[in-house]
Amino acid sequence: MRFRAIFSFLLLLLAHLTALPSIRAQDSSKGTEADTAAIKQVFSDFYENFTRHDAHATAMTFAPDADFTNMNGSHRHGQKEIEDGFTALFAGRLKDSVRTDIVRNIRFYAPDLAAVDADTLILGTKTAEGSVGPPRKGLMIVTMTKQNGRWFISTFHEAEFPVARADTSNNASGK
């Protein structure tokens, strides 16, 4: 009986040790420096095309079947719908806008899959009345996929940080 337990333990240990190379292969999905640079370039292309108000070029940073959800919760699916959405925005509220996205974190889940967070700043957004609104700051949260050797935005979500409001309470009096 004791021999059987030791033998079973050794078999389990051997099975575990033979699995280590595949575990190490999964750990190597951290991405290469080239992948990190390519992802950052996609972000740069995205916000530069956005700032030039080039809806087509902006949409081409997205995968063909991408999902896009903006700060207002508007959702678009696929490059064509995404391009149409940017065309409308660039003709309206974002006509004179300037955007910058700074990558804050890249997490590789596989050699062709990464989650990316970026700080977003949009200047020059028009209000409903036509005046220039305050700077819009937020977080861009995307999933990126590598397809045919090229990185694309596959899912895009933005969260806009609340605008700081002046404190109207009377803190000095302790009330």
Over residues 10-28, the pLDDT tens digits come to: 333 344 444 434 433 444 4
Mean pLDDT rounded to a whole number for the chain: 83
Work out the number of other CB atoms within 10 angstroms of the CB of residue 58: 26
Helix count (H) and strand count (E) of the chain? 4, 6
Show the low-confidence residues of the chain (pLDDT under 70): 1-29, 165-175
- Tokens representing 9 are 């333990």
Of 144, 62, 150, 148, whose CA–CA distance to 106 is shortest? Answer: 144
Cβ atoms of 53 and 98 within 8 Å: the answer is no
Going by CATH, does the domain composed of 31-160 fall within 3.10.450.50? Answer: yes
pLDDT at 10: 35
Cα angle 107, 116, 45; round to 5: 130
- Domain residue ranges of the chain, discontinuous segments joined by +: 31-160
- Tokens representing 43 are 């972000």
- Tokens representing 3 are 């021999």
pTM above 0.95, yes or no: no
Cβ atoms of 85 and 74 within 8 Å: the answer is yes
* Phi and psi angles of residue 79, each rounded to the nearest 5 degrees, phi first: -60, -40
Q: Which amino acid is at 145?
A: T
